[in-house]
Amino acid sequence: MTKNKSLFSEKKQNPLNSLEDWDEDVLKRYPDPASIASEKTQDEFRNYEAPARDSVRDFYDLNHKFQTYEFAKEKKENYLKFDNKEMPIWESFDFLNELVDDSDPDTDLDQMQHLLQTSEAIRNDGHPDWMVLVGLIHDMGKVLCLFGEPQWAVVGDTFPLGCAFSDKIIYSEFFKNNPDSQNEKYQTKYGIYEPNCGLNKVQMSWGHDEYIYQMMKDYIPEPGLYMLRYHSFYAQHRENAYDHLLNSHDLEMFKWVRLFNPYDLYSKNPNQKSWEELKPYYQELVNKYLPKTLKF
């Protein structure tokens, strides 16, 4: 029996089969961004033409140059052994308090503030507690920076490798400097993949999304795992640029990714409750789903 089966009933493992347990058809009630982001309008988020910091454009120049198929494959082989460190989740959050994401044009808040804003917005809308947990941990994989990885190899939008880069990817012009752009077998729409092969067979650019997904795949229901694994895959969940690679299960699960995305993107307002006020709830939540220590 896997850990997943021991922790969750069939209903919890497959919540798409039990939507009646939520408010009527929650997936049709996507949150109104205006109700989450009171300090900005929706159009002011993800402003890459005039980002808040010059580092954003510089970041994507490096990211798009060095994120190759072989690079991502190597990083997965190295880091998915989870043999760097074992620590309580709270210790990883202490590190995130020191990190400001260079790829984010919307905020210069530390990561812990962003995580709490996201999870609290989810909790305030009455979603299940496992989704609140996803809000809390979705960027926890950025601890890769703690192990010496540069931010361009950890954060930012993710995208498929091994096929042609979509022009829907932010700053796609920077891919001209990526060695994969000179690899003939990667220059077609499908590249090395079969039509609608499913994302599980696709090599994504390496970063915190894949890392935290792999870390959590034994503890969280599948919709939450899709949220973790693909929350930075904006070219798909905003632009549908890779429908030709997704299978029917991916398409169904991306409803959950799209449900999560507004909380991640629009809850960046500097009016969050203090950690001391929120700490008891989140300690209990983490204890419910996760072991005392995690391997990083």
Amino acid of residue 179: P
> Does 47 have pLDDT greater than 60?
no
pLDDT: which is higher, 158 or 146? 158
Q: How much is the pLDDT for 153?
A: 96
The answer to whether residue 75 is domain-embedded is: yes
Q: Which range scores top for mean pLDDT: 52-66, 105-119, 242-256?
A: 242-256
The answer to whether residue 173 is domain-embedded is: yes
pLDDT: which is higher, 100 or 280? 280
Quick one: average pLDDT of 247-266?
A: 94
pLDDT band at 112 (very low <50, low <70, confident <90, very high): confident
The answer to whether residue 181 is domain-embedded is: yes
- Count of domains observed in the chain: 1
Task: Tell me the residue range of the domain where 168 lies.
Answer: 46-295
Alpha carbon distance 72, 167 (integer Å): 20
Q: How much is the pLDDT for 247?
A: 98
The answer to whether residue 128 is domain-embedded is: yes
Tokens of 145: 């920076």
Quick one: average pLDDT of 253-282?
A: 85
Q: How much is the pLDDT for 21?
A: 34
Q: What's the chain look like in SS3?
A: CCHHHHHCCHHHHCHHHCHHHCCCCHHHCCCCHHHHCCCCCHHHCCCCCCCCCCHHHHHHHHHHHHCCHHHHHHHHHHHCCCCCCEECHHHHHHHHCCCCCCCCCCCCCCHHHHHHHHHHHHHHCCCCHHHHHHHHHCCHHHHHHHHCCCHHHCCCCCCECCCCCCCCCCCHHHHHHCHHHHCHHHCCCCCCCCCCCCHHHCCECCCHHHHHHHHHCCCCCHHHHHHHHHCCCHHHHCCCCCCCCCCHHHHHHHHHHHHHHHHHHHCCCCCCCCHHHHHHHHHHHHHHHCCCCEEC
Q: How much is the pLDDT for 49?
A: 54
The answer to whether residue 106 is domain-embedded is: yes
% of residues, the chain, pLDDT over 70: 76
The answer to whether residue 238 is domain-embedded is: yes
pLDDT: which is higher, 26 or 184? 184
pLDDT: which is higher, 76 or 43? 76
The answer to whether residue 263 is domain-embedded is: yes
Quick one: average pLDDT of 129-155?
A: 94
Q: How much is the pLDDT for 101?
A: 53
pLDDT: which is higher, 94 or 173? 173
**What backbone phi and psi angles, to 5 degrees, belong to 9?**
-70, 170
To 10 degrees, the CA torsion angle through 258, 259, 261, 262? 120
**What backbone phi and psi angles, to 5 degrees, belong to 10?**
-60, -35
The answer to whether residue 223 is domain-embedded is: yes
> Does 198 have pLDDT greater than 60?
yes
